[in-house]
Structure 1
Amino acid sequence: MTDTMKALLLGRGPEWVLDDVPVPEPGRGEVLIRNRASATNNADLPMLAEADPTHGGTGKESIAGFEYAGEIAAVGEDAGRWKVGDPVMGTFPSAFAEYLVADHRFVLPRPQALAPEVACALPTALLTEFGALTVAGFQPGQSVLSTGASTSIGMIGIQIAKTLGASKIIATTRSTDKKDLLTRLGADTVIVTGKDDDLTRAVLAATDGEGANVVLDHVAGDTFAACLPATAADGQVVNIGRLAGPATTIDLDALSFRHLTVHGVSFGFSRDWETVPILEGLHPEILPAVDRGDITPVIDTTLNIQQYREAADRLRSGTTIGKIVFTLA
């Protein structure tokens, strides 16, 4: 193993910079991962802009990225069951690099047959979508509404809900072109927002007037407000993303008279008491489903890490369907 590695850095300007940096060493409770592939996330570009010193950003240098897949290269003290050579995947800061150090509790086993360039596109969505269903107390036989379901994590959420035994999965998208894709992934009803009836009416029609038992909202804004009267009595509404903005006006009658419970989730690395149990909860049903191929990511583009400028341009275009993946030699 060399002393230096290639990594994409924030904090030097408006674009990522590929440079040589020291290979980190694992401390107590940590593992060193030889990263083979990384996937992009919605937070990558905002974090790049926030660190850009040429446009008022912090100028704080750090390694970009969160999702990775590779194998264990070294194990620190008290780092659990991991052994050198174990295939792994996960979500943790500083993932756009040939090596990264991660808290061993946040690392997931990677099925042997799952290539790193596929596996790296799973962990954030597995954590977020399974976590949201867990917070909602989802039970087999319940119906699920997923707004903004054609997002990368939303598409995984459909597959997780199906794996866990949802009775009906209703998905929304703004694009007619994505309707067939969402159906193939497991959605029973796909609502094209802005083209079909309004969201509330369409969901009620798809659920015989009852509404969805669990709502996974990736959109927020007015969509969040429309979800409340589209949720079944005693239902659970979980806000995950805010693609339409963080502000909305809601009808409190829809919330109160239907006896709804609203949750907000953001599974961070500093909230280990919350995040680690969710990751552990993936082992009984979700990871075996990944191994079987029942849960698979949608990959938009696979690029070598040297093509990072092309990746950033494609992210900014807003036309991606699924993840952009970087491969690392």
Structure 2
Amino acid sequence: MRAVDIKTGKGAATALYITDIPKPTPSKGEAIVKIKAFGLNRMDLLQRNGQYPVPPQAPKTLGVEFSGIVESLGEGCKDGFKVGDEVFGLAYGGAYAEFIAVSTHMLLHKPHHLNWDEAAGVPETWITATQAMYLVGSFEKGKSILWHAGASSVSISGIQLSKIGGASKIYVTAGSQEKIDFCVKELGATAGFNYKTQNWSEEILKATDGKGVDVVVDFVGANYFQGNLDVAARDGTIVHLGAMSGTKLPNGVDIGAFVRKRITFVGSSLRSRDLDYQGKLRDTLETYLPQFEDGTFKIYVDKVFPWEKIIEAHEEMEKNTSQGKIICTIS
């Protein structure tokens, strides 16, 4: 089968190319899915550069979310799928390819109202947002929440989940007024702050009368560490999911808020979790399907590329200008 590979094992986007590799065979409980579309995620950029700890069970091929058609089933599949079913799902890796082997418990039936592009952009995004809010961040109705990188796919999902979950206030940060307007006017966030032109932590404290926010979801890392401590409310939780600005803290960081405000700082990931943990989140995602259908939850696809333009797709993600998912299709 054809799949995306990386010249010399790692490198810039220009190192990506399509080549032939062996087609996977299903292990017990797995399906082989013929992929129609796959979603790009920031972890793909890190993995491409050799900066992501890939789980031992993952193939070297990039990609964790996809949509497609069940081609065959291995022994022991008990999740009600059959050959020919249209599905979407989450895998440990291997989605940048014509076929993927994946546990049937990580698949969902694709609703008819979702096209292949939309379905491919759902699993990683919505599962990560759910995990960050509820399993890690201990979000409850009435709490306030801050989503950094507000126009990123995970935060777009998170804002919608926060709204339906009864958040008292939903704040975001973003790098342009266009993105802030999108988060506030389109998604329903309470307010947004431009990290390029404003001191976002000071502005959030002003907006909350100095109280701060109960849950902070951060993908940025080092550059936001102090600001996150400053804006976290008493007994607040900071959920650390990524380190786009690095992991080494600058001199002068004041950690006194940990004790003074009893802050909980939790780092987490999804891809390294076992199948049972991921499967429970998949089950939660399944409960969202009616809300995707009635329009309560919206899926935002920013750009779609044929997978032959995988270099351009990765370069587009690196620009940090998208408002929603970047998807590649396989014809």
Question: What TM-score, normalized to structure 1?
Answer: 0.87
Q: Which residue of 1 aligns with 2:88?
A: 89
4+ aligned runs moved over 6 Å, structure 1: none
Residue 117 of structure 1 deviates from its aligned partner by 0.6
Q: Which residue of 2 aligns with 1:54?
A: none
What amino acid is aligned across from residue 10 of structure 1 in structure 2? I
What is aligned with 1:36? Answer: 36
Deviation at 1:163, TM superposition (A): 2.3
Q: TM-score, normalised by structure 2?
A: 0.87
Q: Name 2:306's counterpart in structure 1.
A: 304
Note the aligned Cα RMSD (angstroms): 2.2
Which one of the candidate residues 290, 297, 309 is aligned to 1:288? 290
Deviation of residue 130 (structure 1)?
0.6
Q: Deviations over 1:70-93 (max 9, x none)?
A: 232222222222222333212221
State the match for 2:111 in structure 1.
111
Report the AA paired with residue 177 of structure 2.
Answer: T
Consecutive unaligned residues of structure 2, counting only runs of 5 or more, are 52-58
The percent identity for this pair of structures is 29
Match of residue 244 from structure 2: 243
Work out which of the residue numbers 61, 69, 72 in structure 1 matches 2:70: 72
Instruction: Report if aligned partners of 1:90, 1:108 keep a CA contact under 8 Å in 2.
Output: yes
Partner letter of residue 299 of structure 2?
Answer: P
1:128-139 equivalence runs, <5 A: 128-134=128-134, 135-139=136-140
Residue type at the aligned position of 2:303: T
Secondary structure at the residue paired with 1:160?
A: helix
SS in 1 for 2:290: helix
The answer to whether structure 1 residue 173 and structure 2 residue 174 are counterparts is yes
Q: Rate the CA distance shift 1:283–1:318 in 2: closer, same or farther, 3 A.
A: closer
Alpha-carbon distance in structure 2 between the residues aligned to 1:34 and 1:119: 14
| Ranges in structure 1 where 5+ consecutive residues have no aligned partner | 52-60
What displacement does 1:212 show?
Answer: 1.0
Q: CA deviation at 1:173?
A: 0.8
Deviates further, 94-103 or 41-50: 41-50
Alignment of 1:1-329 (within 5 A): 5-12=1-8, 14=11, 15-50=15-50, 62-81=60-79, 82-92=81-91, 93-134=93-134, 135-183=136-184, 184-196=186-198, 198-248=199-249, 250-284=253-287, 286-329=288-331
Residue pair 2:23, 2:99 contacting (<8 A) in 1 also: yes
Residues of 2 paired with 1:69 and 1:106: CA distance?
A: 12
Task: For residue 179 of structure 2, give the secondary structure of its aligned residue in structure 1.
Answer: helix
Does the 8 A contact of 1:146 with 1:172 survive in 2? yes
- What amino acid sits opposite 2:281 in the alignment? I
- What CA deviation, in whole Å up to 9, does each residue of 1:162-195 have, x standing for no partner? 2222121000112222111111122111111232
Find the aligned partners of 1:236 and 1:167 in 2 and give their Cα distance: 16
Q: Which residue of 1 aligns with 2:56?
A: none
